[in-house]
Amino acid sequence: MTAQEQYQSLYDGLRALDPLLVEAIADVDRSLVRSYLALGPWERLRLGARAAEELAELAACRRLASNR
């Protein structure tokens, strides 16, 4: 199986499993990915940890709101 065939098989399987995820992937701004990869590893780690903290806070707020 060629690389293109493998890609297409993976893409088709993922699309069947979660079409919204495939749409979200297509919507990614690749310039943001490139700028992120241009950062040093420690800076990427720091930004990733901060993003994880913010997501945890958002999840906690959503849990509180759903319990009301």
- pLDDT of 29 reads 83
CA distance 57 to 62: 9
As a whole number, the mean pLDDT across the chain is: 91
What is the H or E stretch that residue 49 is in?
Answer: helix 41-66
- pLDDT of 68 reads 76
- Res. 67 pLDDT band, cuts 50 70 90: confident
- pLDDT of 42 reads 97
Total-model pTM: 0.53
Cα three-residue angle 61-62-65, rounded to 5 degrees: 85
